[in-house]
Homo-oligomer: A and B are copies of this chain.
Amino acid sequence: MRYQIEFRHFRYFLAVAETLHFRKAADILFISQPGLSRQIKQLEENLGVKLFERHNRKVKLTQVGLYLQREINTNFKQLEAIINHAKLLNDGIDGNLRLGYVGSAMQQLIPDLLLKFKGTHPNILINLKEIDNKQQIEALLNQNIDIGFIRQERVPIGINVKPIYEETFSLVLPKNHKINKTNFKSLSQFKNEHFILFDASYSESYYEKIMQIFDDSGFSPIISHSTINASSIYRLVENNFGVSIVPTSLKYGFDLKIKFIELVEIPQRTTLKIVWNNKNTNPVLKNFIEIIRFLN
């Protein structure tokens, strides 16, 4: 117990816990393998806890090691956030907020929200990143973003959800398509058309919902293309590669030879939700959620 534990020990520990390989971890840390071994040993001695099982040619985390990896990781993320925030404070900025969003949220909602937030909190630095649903959850858990905008039903525990905008779906057709708002009866009129849809990887639950729409209409769609980007969908529709179904709000802001038919009769709706990690201690996050609360 004569050595003080330092960050170094935990930095090294995390690297070994990550790679489960002393030599590789040493390379990543730009130190030699024996040096790394010694520091890990020191940490283990100081804590009085065995962190790794070294057998044969395999390194394994012990139960306690596993626990420490998780906890130290989030603790370090928090510390990092504290330091970043301190730097921003120093620059006269009151904090920052890292947003992730699916493309379809940028349509109208995020600009509106940010404008409102900037009004009350002018010195907040906002970072925006377009990421898909699944990766947003990942980023939230790792505290790489503070808040996400997703279209997905289920989220892991530890993630808070607040629905903020529910909307209908709309059919997307080429402008010259024979079906229009007046002669449109039901989706089954499109059973022989090719469909261009958001990829299942975009969000499983979103995809399921779309499939349910087809189920309810009594046919399986021919899916000719899938993408993760509204604008590519529209390009394809415009050029007669097929038709599509998208959240209604996505119809604004494009000037293409396509038309939309809102599907108000079907029961399915899609909900844009904001999500955040309840372990996140960023003070700006609290304020942002406060703003959201007064939306509906």
Question: Which residues on A are within 8 Å of B, measured CB to CB?
Answer: 4-8, 47-50, 53, 62-64, 67-68, 71-72, 75, 78-79, 82-83, 85-87, 89-90, 95, 281-283
Contact = CB atoms under 8 A, between A and B. Distances in A.
A71 B64 contact: no
A111 B247 CA distance: 57
A283 B90 contact: no
Contact of A90 (B50, B72, B78): B50
Kindly report how many copies of this chain are found in the complex they form together. Answer: 2
Contacts of A90: 47-50, 64
A283 B86 contact: no
From DSSP, what is the main secondary structure of chain A's interface residues? helix
Contacts of A83: 47
Nearest to A96: B63
Top-9 shortest CB links A-B? A49-B90, A6-B6, A71-B82, A64-B90, A64-B89, A6-B7, A64-B86, A68-B86, A75-B79
B67 A85 contact: yes
